[in-house]
Structure 1
Amino acid sequence: MGMMGEFKEFAMRGNVIDLAVGVVIGGAFGKIVSALVDKVIMPPIGLLVGGVDFSKLAITLKAASVDAAGKEVPAVVLAYGEFLNAVVQFVIVAFAIFLLVKVINRMHRKPEPAPAAPAPTPEDILLLREIRDALKKSA
């Protein structure tokens, strides 16, 4: 089998296709969560803490300037507001995945227990059977 045949076999495995579908759905879910955090959750929180737009929170470490050649040098900014938004997005995604795994685990059937082994025959019954068998042989 050539390299293309091996690649086709690899690509058509169920796990690879499942992974590809998961990545696409995960990307779409990430966009939904980003929109939820940026447009729905953070604005009311910002309003409650004094009208702050978290996405714009930043510390300017070095202001923008113009160098000797007349070229503009951009400012060096520590954008911690965007980091806060990313943390909130992560918490939401992690919680959603937790709930999903919890539901999937609940849906899985518990394996049926194996049938119990028969109880061992008591010793007195075994001795009586031995006596019976011995009597049958001698008769």
Structure 2
Amino acid sequence: MPHLTPGPSGTYASTPSTQDDSDIDDTQELLLRSRHHARRFFTGFLDFAFKGNVLEIAFGLILASMFTAVVTSLMTDILLPPLSVILPLNKNLEEKFAVLQSGESGKGAVYNTLKQAQEDGAVVMAYGVFLNRVLNFVGVGFVLYGMAWGYQLASKDPIIKRTVKCRYCRKEINEKARRCVECTSWQDGREDRHF
């Protein structure tokens, strides 16, 4: 029964074998192939991980998470406490909640903090936490837009692309587009001249 054996150049050649050592040869062949595939898998992974855009993407994600943490801290620790003083909130915004159903203490229980109500088993609507997260989202959006706007002013590189509606299909397209990407009509009025 012929089987493949590795040659000196790394190619596999077909050679005849006897029935007695065919099991040994098949095992060796399988080991050689698996070693070859494992080596190819490992070198492919190294190429993917260190030569491609994976490091750039990882750096961007780490930087984005740190940026989000800084802006969240700006909103929660710097901007929202004065807002709580100006508006008659009497507490930090995160501590605002409504008790929907009392917990183990029974009906009419008074809870001073959200944590106290949750520990008692009360059903609460923590609208302060939600509003805090919405304000954080808006804050991150404004800061990112401000950074993109500042970068665009400094470098003349258009990051923020203005859009207009296509005259024919009403889809949003770039304001500098000559043709619509949706309906492929010309935006300079050529379509009107043919009719």
TM interval, shorter chain, is 0.5 to 0.7
* Residue 4 (structure 1) aligned with residue 42 (structure 2): yes
CA apart distance, 1:14 = 4.4
CA apart distance, 1:81 = 0.5
Query: Equivalents in 2 of 1:73, 1:40: separation in Å?
Result: 31
- Candidates 70, 73, 83, aligned match of 1:35: 73
- Partner of 2:134: helix, strand, or coil? helix
- On the 8 A contact 2:97/2:127 being kept in 1, the answer is yes
- Partner of 1:61: helix, strand, or coil? strand
More deviation in 82-91 or 51-60?
51-60
CA apart distance, 1:12 = 1.7
**Equivalent residue number for residue 176 of structure 2:** none
- Candidates 66, 78, 84, aligned match of 2:131: 84
CA apart distance, 1:48 = 0.9
Query: Equivalents in 1 of 2:97, 2:74: separation in Å?
Result: 21
CA apart distance, 1:23 = 1.3
- Candidates 56, 59, 62, aligned match of 1:21: 59
Query: Equivalents in 1 of 2:53, 2:124: separation in Å?
Result: 43
- Partner of 1:2: helix, strand, or coil? helix
- Candidates 93, 96, 106, aligned match of 2:140: 93
Query: Equivalents in 1 of 2:51, 2:149: separation in Å?
Result: 27
**Equivalent residue number for residue 44 of structure 1:** 82
Query: Could you say which structure has the higher helix fraction?
Result: 1
CA apart distance, 1:108 = 5.1
Distance 1:109 1:92, change over 3 A: closer
The percentage of aligned residue pairs carrying the same residue is: 28
Give the aligned CA root-mean-square deviation in angstroms. Answer: 2.4
* Residue 65 (structure 1) aligned with residue 104 (structure 2): yes
Bigger CA radius of gyration: 1
Query: Equivalents in 2 of 1:109, 1:61: separation in Å?
Result: 52
- Partner of 2:100: helix, strand, or coil? strand
Structure 1: stretches of 5+ with no match in the other structure? 67-71, 111-139
Code of the residue aligned with 2:127 in structure 1: it is: Y
Query: Equivalents in 2 of 1:109, 1:84: separation in Å?
Result: 35
- Report the TM-score when normalising by structure 1: 0.64
Distance 1:62 1:93, change over 3 A: same
Query: Equivalents in 1 of 2:70, 2:126: separation in Å?
Result: 22
Code of the residue aligned with 1:64 in structure 2: it is: G
Query: Equivalents in 1 of 2:85, 2:120: separation in Å?
Result: 34
The number of equivalent residue pairs is 105
Code of the residue aligned with 1:40 in structure 2: it is: I
Distance 1:16 1:82, change over 3 A: same
Structure 2: stretches of 5+ with no match in the other structure? 1-38, 106-118, 159-195
- On the 8 A contact 2:72/2:140 being kept in 1, the answer is no
| CA deviation string 1:54-95 (max 9, x = no partner) | 1111112222228xxxxx862222111011111111111111
